[in-house]
Amino acid sequence: MSDERTGTVAVIGAGTMGHGIAQVSAMAGYDVVLYDPQPLAVEKGLAKIGDNLARGVERGKVAEGDADACRARLKPADALKDAVADAWLVIEAAPEQMEIKERVFADVYGLAPEGAILASNTSSLSVTRIAAATGAPERVIGLHFFNPVHIMKLLEVVRGSETSQPVVDAALEYARRIGKEPIVVTDTPGFASSRLGVVLGLEAMRMVEQGVATPQDIDRAMELGYNHPMGPLKLTDVVGLDVRLGIAEYLHRELGGEQYRPPELLRRMVAEGKLGKKSGQGFYDW
């Protein structure tokens, strides 16, 4: 394994989570290579990072010199092999579908340096199964970031059934260097955060279905009564209703229990294209 203090972090996937992971890694002093099979996605991701940094400078949260240094550490890659060629850590941020992640990990394993840590940003899927797509499952770990990545402090470190202790230790060191507060969980469906968060979100949707209260008042109850920074329905809009539906279906299939059964309201809204913030309409208008 190359020296993580000077090595490159490769981020595979430049969407909402991927560009955020690239940004916090570069801000922490890592050289970062960003790759996406859709070249336009990389352009958009780098532009969003630039916007985040500009806002940070305007608000006095980021020094202008630090923002410039962050931009200088970020590099796009046109091919996967170029992205991972010098990486000590590869973080996959592809769509939350097992088949896609297995394909990415099989490809990355064949291209990354021997000893590189291979991490998935999955929020609920089995890290052990993802690792099985490689020839070195001991080097595979889950790094579940939260949106928006440059603001949220939590990083869920997921230990697969064969993940080695040195890989866990290196992941924790990386997490702390990028300013996150890590927790370590074993590889079970939904881990800790999604398993709890999805139940809260789905129950809030059932309350809307039953006419208990408006989405705004349900969220306000959790924000003011339980000190949540964002209510479960607004958070669902930010995450994406389609993403929440996929996770709920997976957890219901794997764990059973009515608490994980997706409400019909959620299915209907997704079918109507009301996906939350990214579509402009969900439980709120954006």
Structural domain including 266 reads: 193-271
Residue 55 sits in the same domain as residue 152: yes
Which pLDDT belongs to residue 148? 87
| Domain final residue, candidates 139, 157, 186 | 186
Domain assignment present for residue 1? The answer is no
Peptide bond into 148 cis (omega under 30): yes
- List strands edge to edge, sheet with 154-159: 74-76, 31-35, 8-12, 87-92, 117-120, 140-144, 154-159, 181-186
Q: Considering the entire predicted model, what is its pTM? A: 0.88
> Which residues partner with 181 through β-bridges?
154
Residue 251 sits in the same domain as residue 181: no
C-alpha span between 7 and 3 (Å, rounded): 6
- Burial class from Cβ neighbours inside 10 Å (0-12, 13-18, 19+) for residue 51 reads exposed
Domain assignment present for residue 277? The answer is no
Tally the domains of the chain.
2
**For position 240, which CATH number holds?**
1.10.1040.50
Residue 102 sits in the same domain as residue 213: no
- Digit-by-digit pLDDT tens for the chain (286 residues) are 444 545 899 999 999 899 999 999 999 999 999 999 998 999 999 999 999 999 999 999 999 999 999 999 999 999 999 999 999 999 999 998 999 999 999 999 999 999 999 999 999 899 999 999 999 999 999 999 998 899 999 999 999 999 999 999 999 999 999 999 999 999 999 899 989 999 999 999 999 999 999 999 999 999 999 999 999 999 999 989 999 999 999 999 999 999 999 999 999 999 999 999 999 999 999 9
Q: Residue 244: name the closest of 283, 211, 215 by CA.
A: 283
Which pLDDT belongs to residue 169? 98
Which pLDDT belongs to residue 6? 54
Domain assignment present for residue 218? The answer is yes
